[in-house]
Structure 1
Amino acid sequence: CHGFGHTPAAVLDAMARPQVMANVMTPSLAQRRLDRALRAEIGHSRGGCPFVRFMCLNSGSEAVGLAARIVDTNAKLHTDPGARHAGATIKRLVVKGSFHGRTDRPGLYSDSSRKTYTKYLASYRDEDSVIAIAPYDVAALQRAFDEAARNHWFIEAVFLEPVMGEGDPGRALPAEFYAAARALTRTHGSLLLVDSIQAGLRAHGVLSVVDYPGFEQLDPPDLETYSKALNAAQYPLSVLAVNEHAAQVYRKGTYGNTMTTNPRALDVACATLALFTPQVRENIRIRGAQAIAKLEALQAELGGLITKVQGTGLLFSCELAPHFKCYGAGSTEEWLRHRGVNVIHGGENSLRFTPHFAMDEDELDLMVGLIARALKEGPRQVQAEAA
């Protein structure tokens, strides 16, 4: 899921520098450098960064976990005695197929993992706090907030991916739905999180949803998370960006750990952001559009073997007909990996691709050619079962 290949020299150099031992209490100039780099990147299409604070953590899931802690604080402020939603039952809203991480609260917001958690985890036995609506149905979103008002529910937050990473890889969030979610959360007192951990940098060559085409004029979210491409898959780092409102809600003592904001991680992020030249950004957009065009041509040529092609930038997928096994032993995914293609399954029966950001057209043609071979010569479901 990470953009500059296996051994990006500039990132490895940054990672190898001598550093003091990580300790959340130790200030570092690396913190200043990353703060400046993030402020320069986020909001560059709209005249300035809309976020006032950055909080740096380790895994992507942890950044969402901290966001959820701020959301939890806000929910208490809204539902305590005497507050606007005093005594309300707390709910949370996502779209079906959402993925926001696997630790406790992020896992709860992840509809794509829900079936597995309900099957194996006792804590999900009576869990009914999550409202999961059909993706990007504005009327369903409005109905959910209307129902909350009728039932004395407080929807603590709406979590959205700007481009889906797991549930329906490559599917983009429409600006119209985002704008509706922003308006409804603001009216209701809920917080809005955009989880850019999978899509950041990869989808449009920009880190933040606030710089996506069609989003530059829209109100920013309260919270946004980044991780994967930002750390070049070399060192654990995630970032939570917060606006003034969310920053005011945060309470000291509600989060922190030893490795947060450690200088080695921050130097890695600075080195990665420095690699994002205008040429790299343009390559992500051009190559992504070519990938869709070439896979759609392959879909037409193969007559029904590929059932859907979609993507945004260099996060794209092709869904396979049911007689292909997507993952596991004897699968199409395994066949492609054995031939050197970076592929991971997603969605119902999809191959998900997250190629490196400098990929050229020859490499893309090689990849599409191997997908064609996999579907013509590779394993089918019946063979996989026999194996």
Structure 2
Amino acid sequence: MRSIGMPLRKLDRGEGAYVWDDEGTEYLDFLAGIAVNSLGHAHPVFVEAVSRQAATLAHVSNYFTTEPALELAERIVRLAGAGENGRAWFGNSGAEANEAAFKLARLNNSGEARTRVLALVDAFHGRTMGSLALTGKPHMREAFEPLAGGVEHIPATIEALEASIDDAVAALILEPIQGEAGVVELPAGYLEAARDLTRRHGALLIVDEIQTGAGRTGEWFGFQHAGITPDAITVAKGIGGGIPIGGLVTFGAASDLYSKGQHGSTFGGNPLATAVANAVLGEIERADLVGNAARRGPQVRERIEAIGSPLVAGTRGRGLLIGVALTEPVAGKIVDAALARGLIVNAANDVTIRLAPPLIIGDAEIDAFTDRFAAALADVAHAAS
């Protein structure tokens, strides 16, 4: 399914931050497969990891474990700061990760009547039936209702959370930045308040890091900007750098909620996917691409604002997850104009352009982006005049 304003192109190959279509036209990719291609396209580390693991063992089912799976579990628990009792489970996508998180919430009952799960208005957690129940976008949900019960969507304010949470809440699930809503950050102090309130009422705090994880925001995970410790996080997208993988990481007592056989996946955590994820995360760590995201994000935002387009109201986001707020509902037209100028960006909605470039970008890519994005903005502004 294509996003708003995204014309269909048949892409043929990629290298670094660039892709080419089947007619040989070059595009600068500032979407990275929707925050997936952390290392860009055809990165040597990614290619070598796929080739090496495919030549030995690609899949064994969940009746066995393998060294890549164990290594990835240890690595992601360490990067998340989950501690000695941290645990990791791997599936194949972000939606599957959030399904696992939803089931984890159901297990947090301790014999009590914890029937409520809180999620946020405008949240996006996936398109499967369980993850869709958590998604706070009525236009996505209505065609498939009734969905799993017990989920309540509340505004992303501390006041709404204080008014909603009680001892009947099993979990609060949230994104630290709502990417599909237009790269919207939570209010200042929200994560700290959420951690305090959920702990006080015995509810789990589950942070959806599918779009914000793997260094994209300038920390390994978005929750780390707030200095809190959640009970669980969900991961996918950027941790695999282009190979399908998702996962649930649990912290502390939440690691004891699942018992053997309560959840699983035939393909989840197979040696091919986990070997590649290890290589991707290892390269992000080795090359300090988390730091690069922290440095390059403000640089990109400064360039956008310096363009001085009447269509740009401002920018928001963290690191290399950036929302460009527009003064007019022309995001789809800007996406089309950018593509015509050889630039791939995304319309999160009618009034927001979303940018999520590969974490490898440097000065040359930012220069090229600035030129092409400025030209696209000018094209749309001229057409409207």
TM-score range, shorter chain: 0.7 to 0.9
1:295 and 2:300 aligned:
no
The answer (yes or no) to whether the contact 1:65–1:105 under 8 Å persists in 2 is yes
Deviation at 1:206, TM superposition (A): 3.2
| Count, aligned residues | 346
What letter corresponds to residue 132 of structure 1 in structure 2? H
Partners in 1 of 2:329 and 2:65 — Cα distance?
56
Q: Name 1:12's counterpart in structure 2.
A: 47
Higher alpha-carbon deviation: 14-23 or 51-60: 14-23
1:68 counterpart (99, 102, 119)? 102
Q: How does 1:317-336 map to 2 (within 5 A)?
A: 317-324=323-330, 326-327=331-332, 331-336=333-338
Partners in 2 of 1:255 and 1:379 — Cα distance?
52
What letter corresponds to residue 80 of structure 2 in structure 1? I
Task: Name the structure, 1 or 2, with higher relative contact order (CA <8 Å, separation 6+).
Answer: 2
Q: Secondary structure at the match of 2:124?
A: coil
The answer (yes or no) to whether the contact 1:207–1:226 under 8 Å persists in 2 is no
Deviation at 1:139, TM superposition (A): 1.6
Q: Name 1:160's counterpart in structure 2.
A: 174
1:208 and 2:221 aligned:
yes
The answer (yes or no) to whether the contact 2:219–2:294 under 8 Å persists in 1 is no
Partners in 2 of 1:273 and 1:117 — Cα distance?
34
Seen in structure 2, the aligned counterparts of structure 1 residues 348 and 51 have a Cα distance that, compared at 3 Å, is farther
Higher alpha-carbon deviation: 257-266 or 364-373: 364-373
What letter corresponds to residue 243 of structure 1 in structure 2? F
1:143 counterpart (154, 163, 168)? 163
Deviation at 1:237, TM superposition (A): 0.7
Q: Secondary structure at the match of 2:111?
A: helix
Structure 1: gaps (5+ residues): 80-84
Deviation at 1:366, TM superposition (A): 2.1
Q: Name 1:182's counterpart in structure 2.
A: 195
1:26 counterpart (64, 89, 104)? 64
Q: Secondary structure at the match of 2:178?
A: coil
Partners in 2 of 1:27 and 1:108 — Cα distance?
32
Partners in 2 of 1:223 and 1:78 — Cα distance?
21
Seen in structure 2, the aligned counterparts of structure 1 residues 162 and 51 have a Cα distance that, compared at 3 Å, is farther
Identity of aligned residues (%): 26
What letter corresponds to residue 67 of structure 2 in structure 1? L
Q: Name 1:82's counterpart in structure 2.
A: none
Deviation at 1:288, TM superposition (A): 0.2
Q: Name 2:73's counterpart in structure 1.
A: 35
The answer (yes or no) to whether the contact 1:42–1:210 under 8 Å persists in 2 is no
Q: What value does the CA root-mean-square deviation take over the aligned residues?
A: 2.4
The answer (yes or no) to whether the contact 2:105–2:117 under 8 Å persists in 1 is no
1:193 and 2:206 aligned:
yes
Q: How does 1:232-243 map to 2 (within 5 A)?
A: 232-233=241-242, 235-243=243-251
The answer (yes or no) to whether the contact 1:51–1:241 under 8 Å persists in 2 is no
Q: Name 1:114's counterpart in structure 2.
A: 138
Q: Name 1:366's counterpart in structure 2.
A: 368
Q: Name 1:275's counterpart in structure 2.
A: 283
Seen in structure 2, the aligned counterparts of structure 1 residues 66 and 224 have a Cα distance that, compared at 3 Å, is same
Partners in 1 of 2:78 and 2:200 — Cα distance?
30
Partners in 2 of 1:323 and 1:26 — Cα distance?
52
Partners in 2 of 1:173 and 1:49 — Cα distance?
26
Higher alpha-carbon deviation: 11-20 or 353-362: 11-20
Cα deviation, 1:270-315, whole Å, max 9, x if unaligned, reads 10011123542222111101112222223xx223x11231120000
Q: Secondary structure at the match of 2:108?
A: helix
Q: Name 2:121's counterpart in structure 1.
A: 96
Cα deviation, 1:347-366, whole Å, max 9, x if unaligned, reads 44211011111211232132
Deviation at 1:343, TM superposition (A): 1.1
Partners in 1 of 2:69 and 2:361 — Cα distance?
31
1:134 and 2:155 aligned:
yes
Q: Secondary structure at the match of 1:123?
A: coil
Cα deviation, 1:128-169, whole Å, max 9, x if unaligned, reads 84433332x212210112xx56xxxx2221111122211131
